[in-house]
Amino acid sequence: MSTSPYITDVTGTDFETAVVSRSRTTPVLVDFWASWCAPCKMLMPVLARLAEEYQGKVHLAKVDTDREQDLAARYGVRSLPTVKLFKNGVVVDEFLGVQPEQVIRNMISRHAFRPSDTLRIEAHRAIESGEKRLANDILRRALDIDPGNDQIRLDLSGLLLDDGRVAEAGQVLDGLSPTARSGPEAEAQRARLEIAQLAADSPAPEELEQLIAAKPEDNEARYRLSAHRVLQGNYDSALALQLDIVRRDRRFRDDGARKAMLTIFTLLGGKGELVKHYRTQLSLALN
């Protein structure tokens, strides 16, 4: 067990706190190792020295894969040593095997917290306190000093979408780096933006409900009502409406209902019981 404040031996029990939660304020290097692994013994002193040198700007978490096999499996560790860098709760970089010290330094530098990240943390606290206007101001200040911080852009666009400022959210997302644009968080945000734009250009939900009641074959009203349901957080109803369109008319909006369901799946992270259920129902409807 390490006595350094910058190095922690981690198990499956405390991984969420020691790695995932910690990484929201400090990048965490997770070293997956084993006592029988000779390259692991070569790499570990290098990682430990860097953790001490950076004095809290990066934290080192060590996972003994012989004891924590479930944890290693969860993160797809297939060879040792494997080192993954967590930031903001997710893996943002990694390497396999023994690497030169400079390669490791470069990786840490790429993901070191910037002054704008500190402002981002302040903005999150403001959101948790219900002060969304203050959070908006903080995020805009952070973006002014660091326009290349993709996480700031994602946070700000989400806040703008919450406030119904769809066009502004789109402009903020347009500034994402090419790498960030292809990431799952950006894809989900784009999906949300697309749905918000449709809802903004549509009649009120009550009017759309009346149109469907008067004319059940009105798939356009059903399609637009689904967008409102997403913004209301009623994903079950949104997916049910689009599935109904798929069953009624596959050609509607050039297979638009099926595509809309896929968009909602993306918004939901592509997993969960709701996604699983509607993927099955969509497959049955298409066959």
Structure tokens at 195: 């749905």
| Cβ atoms of residues 127 and 137 within 8 Å | no
Let me know if the fold of 7-111 is the same as that of 115-182: no
Cα–Cα distance list, 250 to 216, 221, 277, 285 (Å): 16, 16, 20, 10
| pLDDT of res. 184 | 81
Crossing angle between the packed helical segments 184-200 and 150-162, to the nearest 10 degrees: 30
Structure tokens at 270: 């592509």
Of residues 93, 108, 119, 105, the one with CA closest to residue 179: 93
With 0-12 / 13-18 / 19 or more C-beta atoms within 10 angstroms meaning exposed / middle / buried, residue 65 is buried
Return the CATH architecture of domain 115-182.
Alpha Horseshoe (1.25)
Give the full edge-to-edge strand order of the sheet including 82-87: 7-9, 59-64, 28-33, 82-87, 90-96
| pLDDT of res. 179 | 80
> Fold for domain 7-111?
Glutaredoxin (3.40.30)
Of residues 190, 225, 284, 199, the one with CA closest to residue 242: 225
Q: Which residues pair with 86 in a beta bridge?
A: 28, 91
| pLDDT of res. 199 | 94
Residues 6+ apart with CB under 8 A from 88: 23, 24, 151
Q: Which residues pair with 33 in a beta bridge?
A: 64
Which residues have a catalytic role annotated?
A: 37, 40
Q: Which CATH number fits domain 200-286: 3.50.50.60, 1.25.40.10, 3.90.950.20, 3.90.79.10?
A: 1.25.40.10
In this structure, the dihedral spanned by the alpha carbons of residues 247, 248, 253 and 259, taken in order and rounded to 10 degrees, is -10
| pLDDT of res. 242 | 97
**Model pTM?**
0.65
| pLDDT of res. 2 | 59
6-34: b (≥16 Cβ within 10 Å) or e: bbbebeeeebeebbeebbbebbbbbbbbe
Q: Domain-by-domain residue ranges, the chain?
A: 7-111, 115-182, 200-286
Tens digit of pLDDT at every position of the chain (287 positions): 557 999 999 999 999 999 999 998 899 999 999 999 999 999 999 999 999 999 999 999 999 999 999 999 999 999 999 999 999 888 999 999 999 999 999 999 988 888 898 899 899 999 999 999 999 999 999 999 999 899 899 999 999 998 989 999 999 999 999 888 888 888 889 989 999 999 999 999 999 999 999 999 999 999 999 999 999 999 999 999 999 999 999 999 999 999 999 999 988 988 899 999 999 999 999 98
At residue 49, φ and ψ (nearest 5 deg) are -65, -40
| Cβ atoms of residues 34 and 65 within 8 Å | yes
